[in-house]
């Protein structure tokens, strides 16, 4: 698993806990006898490690559900998507389907998917993993010529995570071999009842006269149909939040 630099973990290593002095254990006197118990800092540290292992990119570490603003009163999909994500988090572990966030660039799809992932790590200490589809495609293609980690090493966290965020599905155009691997990943997660949150800029309705492509065009029909079974669609039809913020600043 790719371990990325996380200032929170670094801090917790560099500044020993005031209760246990970094040992993880505290000695207490109970009914005249000395007993040893795990220090409260250990639970917090475990959450930090799980967040680190989830490989959430720096850019999205700030994403929370509370932080998702219903900034556009003309866009009902913002509130619907936020509510659906909150329901997903609240229902864990009794969730049978993941979510497929669909919408244009900048509408908050990655924000919501990452918010759900980090909230579930904090609440339930799940093993989660974030991966960007294009990065996964490049890594897999590199593994073919032996210039990086092996296919097995790349896929281990993707297959085994209790909750996977597969970001920007369809953004890269993979080779047939990578497409087969993607089908294998989704199918394997489906068979083992592991839940996946996906995001994509593509929809099922493409205007071919305008040269548009559908999600199935980008990912193949078998992958699209697996996604139907694995994920419930959550649509974000609104505008680009970054554009909105830039306009406001101006
Ligand atoms: N409704 C929102 N409230 C707060 N921040 C938002 C909202 N929508 C998007 N953002 C922020 O705008 C940036 C782009 O959103 P992102 O989730 O990456 O969009 P998408 O994945 O749909 O392209 C991110 O930094 C995200 O945190
Ligand atoms: Mg995104
Ligand atoms: Zn401690």
SS3 101: strand
Of the residues 108, 110, 170, 171, which should be mutated to test ligand 1's pocket, given the most ligand atoms within 8 Å of the CB? 108
State the pTM of this model.
0.89
Asked if the model's pLDDT at residue 185 lies above 60, the reply is yes
Residue 71 CA: which ligand 1 atom is closest?
A: 1
pLDDT band at 174 (very low <50, low <70, confident <90, very high): confident
Give me the CATH topology for the region 57-249.
Answer: Rossmann fold (3.40.50)
Sequence ranges of the domains in the chain: 1-53, 57-249
219 alpha carbon to ligand 1 midpoint, in Å?
24
Give the pLDDT confidence score for residue 177 in this predicted structure: 87
SS3 176: helix
pLDDT band at 4 (very low <50, low <70, confident <90, very high): very low
| Nearest of 185, 172, 168 to residue 223 by alpha carbon | 185
Kindly report, residue by residue over 61-94, the tens digit of the pLDDT.
Answer: 999 999 999 999 999 999 999 999 999 999 999 9
The region that residue 89 occupies, defined by phi over 0 for left and psi between -120 and 50 for alpha, beta otherwise, is alpha
Kindly report, residue by residue over 5-31, the tens digit of the pLDDT.
Answer: 455 555 555 678 888 988 889 999 989
Relative orientation angle of helices 109-124 and 76-91, to the nearest 10 degrees = 20
**Where does ligand 1 bind, in terms of residues with CB under 6 Å?**
63, 67-69, 71, 78, 103, 105-111, 199, 241-242
Asked if the model's pLDDT at residue 224 lies above 80, the reply is yes
Two structure tokens written together for 55: 């490989």
């Amino acid at each position: 698993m790719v371990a990325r630099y996380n200032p929170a973990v670094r801090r917790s290593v560099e500044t020993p806990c005031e209760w246990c002095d970094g040992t993880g254990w505290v000695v207490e006197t109970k009914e005249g006898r000395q007993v040893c118990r795990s220090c409260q800092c250990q639970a917090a540290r475990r959450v930090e490690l799980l967040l680190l292992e989830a490989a959430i990119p720096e850019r999205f570490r700030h994403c929370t559900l509370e932080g998702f603003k219903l900034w556009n009163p003309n866009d009902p999909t913002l509130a619907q998507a936020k509510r659906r994500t909150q329901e997903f988090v609240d229902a864990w572990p009794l969730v049978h389907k993941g979510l497929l966030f669909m919408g244009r660039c900048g509408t908050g799809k990655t924000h919501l998917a990452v918010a759900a992932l980090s909230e579930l790590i904090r609440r339930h200490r799940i093993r989660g993993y974030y991966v960007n589809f294009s990065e996964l495609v490049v890594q897999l293609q590199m593994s073919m010529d032996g210039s990086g980690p092996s296919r097995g090493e790349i896929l281990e966290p993707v297959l085994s995570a209790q909750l996977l965020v597969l970001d920007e599905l369809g953004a890269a155009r993979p080779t047939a071999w990578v497409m087969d691997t993607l089908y294998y990943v989704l199918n394997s997660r489906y068979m083992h009842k592991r839940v996946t949150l996906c995001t994509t800029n593509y929809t099922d309705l493409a205007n071919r006269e305008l040269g548009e492509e559908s999600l199935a065009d980008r990912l193949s029909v078998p992958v699209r149909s697996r996604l139907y079974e694995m994920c419930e669609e959550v649509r974000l039809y609104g505008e680009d939040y970054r554009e909105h913020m830039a306009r406001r600043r101006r």
